Amino acid sequence: MEIRKFSKKIRVKKIKQDEFKKMITEMEQSVQKDNEKCNASCNKNKTNYAKDKKKHQLKQKCHHDCWKKRIKTVKAFHKKYPKEFNVFVKNLGGGGSKKETKYICYDGIGSNKTGTHTEKEFLQVMKKNKDNFNETPPKNIKTADLWMKWAGAEKGRCKTKKKPVKLTDKQIRETCKKSCNKGRKDMTKSLKAMDKILKVKNFKELNKKSLKMYDKTCVKTCVDIAKDPKKMKQALNEIKEIQGKMNEGKLKISL
């Protein structure tokens, strides 16, 4: 008679994540304490590499052995509970891996104000407005990619254009005053430098007249240019031309 031995499979109960977290923390604390004790014993051998190389090498080996012991105990714990450990690693960072929401930029018929839609929202808009389009969409279109090609939509969020901030008259005047005051200081410096180079007679009187004209006209012209965009473009083009002539040396100064 043949006797067959049946090996019974031992069913291990699954451990809950809260319990497993406590077990892991307790294990890590105990391993850390043992590692500190082991390194403390290694530190008793006070050596210096310059004086005694052999003792220094033994000390390094002792620390390395402590590190190996620590890793062995940690790995043994991970092998003992493989499923729980994998779930624990996945849930690190406060939750499982979340699926990234895919956005579509569409600003046609039936779209939102922003134009950004999720895939579900985009498909809903396309299905609702089938009859409202100028052209009837083909029947084969079902997926989001095909709808995107047909409707001319793009992947990702729509780029929001920043609206230009409209300043009040008081704000424009204040900004113009500040810029004119800065310009006046720069003008005085440049005029003094010109006086040293050219040495013109009655230069102080010319300096006073030019500064008076600057004070009268600067704020008014600045306000007029700020309110009218055409004048702004003209002024910028003139400044660029003057800078180009100054760099080339073609600008002649007439006094």
pLDDT of residue 38: 87
pLDDT of residue 84: 84
- pLDDT bin (cut points 50, 70, 90) of residue 248 is low
Segment 176-220, tens digit of pLDDT: 888 888 887 887 777 777 777 766 667 777 777 777 787 778 888
Handedness of CA 106, 112, 115, 117 (dihedral sign): negative
Can you give the residue ranges of every domain in the chain?
17-90, 103-155, 169-248
pLDDT of residue 48: 63
Segment 64-90, tens digit of pLDDT: 888 888 888 888 888 888 888 888 888
Structure tokens at 211: 């500064």
Segment 115-162, tens digit of pLDDT: 888 998 998 988 888 887 777 888 888 888 888 888 888 888 888 655
Task: Kindly report the pTM of this predicted structure.
Answer: 0.33
Residue 82 dihedral angles phi and psi, to the nearest 5°? -70, -40
149-155's contacts with Cβ under 8 Å and 24+ in sequence apart are 151/106, 151/108, 151/126, 152/108, 153/104, 153/105, 153/106, 153/108, 153/122, 154/104, 154/105, 154/106, 155/102, 155/103, 155/104, 155/105
Name the strands in the sheet holding 103-105, side by side, starting at the edge strand that comes first in the sequence.
116-118, 103-105, 154-155
Rounded Cα gap, residues 152 and 160, in angstroms: 18
